[in-house]
Structure formats: structure tokens, C-alpha cells
Amino acid sequence: MSNRIAEVTRNTSETQITVKLNLDGTGKTNFDTGVPFLEHMMDQIGRHGLIDLDVVCKGDLHIDDHHTVEDIGITIGQAFDEAVGDKKGIRRYGHAYVPLDEALSRVVVDFSGRPTCMHSVDYRRARIGGFDVDLFDEFFHGFVNHARLTLHIDNIRGKNAHHIAETIFKAFGRALRMALENDERSVGVIPSTKGSL
């Protein structure tokens, strides 16, 4: 596989975002978004997915975090789509179960080219610190629609909202890592009976 790196800039009246990523990195991350809890969660994606991820965003946080969180998901998704390329030789499917104390979550991904996001999580509180948990759904939908993949997120159990969120993002990183790994048995082959994804 060739170098799987991307840099995407997305500017709107609500946010100005630059994302740099390397799908074959070491998990090095850098964030400047003004949304600390989202940065903590994105760090899990990088570290557990072994993806180098740099995200800089200036958003309309004086209104709320919604546009910033959603647009970061969109821009990271665009960068993934660019970096993955034609998908030749990847495993395509990935999954992970991750526990953290009482919490357990499962994430399954398919680089199918068909955006679908099933996000089944019941948080016991509306906010983690100052972060609105509804925005996780916006982040993942933005990512999925622009990375063009199928994503299933299921929280199996958990009481602590921070633990639940962390298991989801760690599992997401690990599922991405599995799906994007080079499959040595199908080098140069697009993993689809259709011949394209």
C-alpha cells in the first residue's frame, strides 16, 4: 500500500478546520479545538488505532459546541476517505470489544462505501463535565457520511458516562485499525465481489 496520509481543510461560516492524518502512524495526536473532552476522545482513536491525528479547529463555541463537534467529524471523515484511497488490500471489516471497569462497548466498521451509522448508547446523564453527550451522535454521523463507511456502535453495559464514552472511542480506534490493516492474502485486491467499494 502507498502512503496513506491526508490533509483536509474545511472552512464554513461556523468553523475553520484542518485535519492531518496518517493511517499507518504510531498514535501520535495533537488537538486545538476548544472542546477538551472531544480531544480526549479523539486521542483514544489515535492511540488505539495507531493513527497519527492532528486537528485544529476555530469554531463558534460562543454559541455552543454543536457545529464544532459535527464539523470535526465531517472533516476527519473526509481525510479518512482521501487517505484510504481505492481500498485495495485492506481487510475492510473491523470490530472491537473494549471494557473500562463496569462499562463494555462493541464497535464494528465496514469500509463499504455505503454510509450507515447505528449508534445505540444510553447515557445516564446529559453531560460529561461540560460536554453534551448528544454531540457524539453528530460526530459519528458526520464522520460516517464523509468517510463512506458502515458503523455500528453498541454500549453493552455501563453506568459511568465517562467510562461508556471512553470504551466507545477506544473500540472505534481498534476497529478502524483492524479494518484498515493490510491483508497479506489479498494484496492489490479490492475486498468486494463487485470489484469496487
pTM metric for this prediction: 0.95
User: What pLDDT, on the 0 to 100 scale, is given for residue 163?
Assistant: 98
Average pLDDT of the residues in 84-97 = 95
User: What pLDDT, on the 0 to 100 scale, is given for residue 188?
Assistant: 74
Average pLDDT of the residues in 139-168 = 98
* Among the listed residues 67, 75, 108, 85, the one whose alpha carbon sits nearest the alpha carbon of residue 23: 85
Tell me whether residue 91 is exposed, middle or buried, using C-beta atoms within 10 angstroms of its C-beta: 0 to 12, 13 to 18, 19 or more. middle
User: What pLDDT, on the 0 to 100 scale, is given for residue 51?
Assistant: 98
Cβ–Cβ under 8 Å, residues 79 and 4: no
Q: What is the mean pLDDT of the chain?
A: 95
pLDDT at 194 over 80: no
160-165, Cβ contacts within 8 angstroms, sequence gap of 24 or more: 160/101, 160/102, 160/103, 161/123, 161/124, 161/125, 161/128, 161/133, 162/128, 163/100, 163/101, 163/102, 163/103, 164/103, 164/105, 164/121, 164/123, 165/41, 165/123, 165/128, 165/133, 165/136
* Among the listed residues 34, 26, 84, the one whose alpha carbon sits nearest the alpha carbon of residue 55: 34
Q: How far is CA 65 from the centre of its chain?
A: 18
pLDDT at 193 over 70: no
DSSP tally for the chain: helices H, then strands E: 4, 10
- 149 pLDDT tier (thresholds 50, 70, 90): very high
User: What pLDDT, on the 0 to 100 scale, is given for residue 190?
Assistant: 75
Q: Which domains does the chain have, with CATH numbers?
A: 5-186 (3.30.230.40)
**Which are the contacts of 43, defined by CB distance < 8 A and separation ≥ 6?**
29, 31
In the chain, pLDDT over 90 holds for what percent of residues? 90
User: What pLDDT, on the 0 to 100 scale, is given for residue 1?
Assistant: 55
**Which are the contacts of 68, defined by CB distance < 8 A and separation ≥ 6?**
14, 15, 33, 34, 35, 38, 57, 59, 60, 61
Average pLDDT of the residues in 86-111 = 96
- 183 pLDDT tier (thresholds 50, 70, 90): confident
Secondary structure of 91-128 in the HEC alphabet? CCEEEEEEEECCEEEEEEEECCCCCEEEEECCCCCCEE
Rounded to whole angstroms, how far apart are CA atoms 168 and 172?
6
pLDDT, one tens digit per residue, over 37-89 is 999 999 999 999 999 999 999 999 999 999 999 999 999 999 999 999 999 99
Residue with cell 496520509: 5
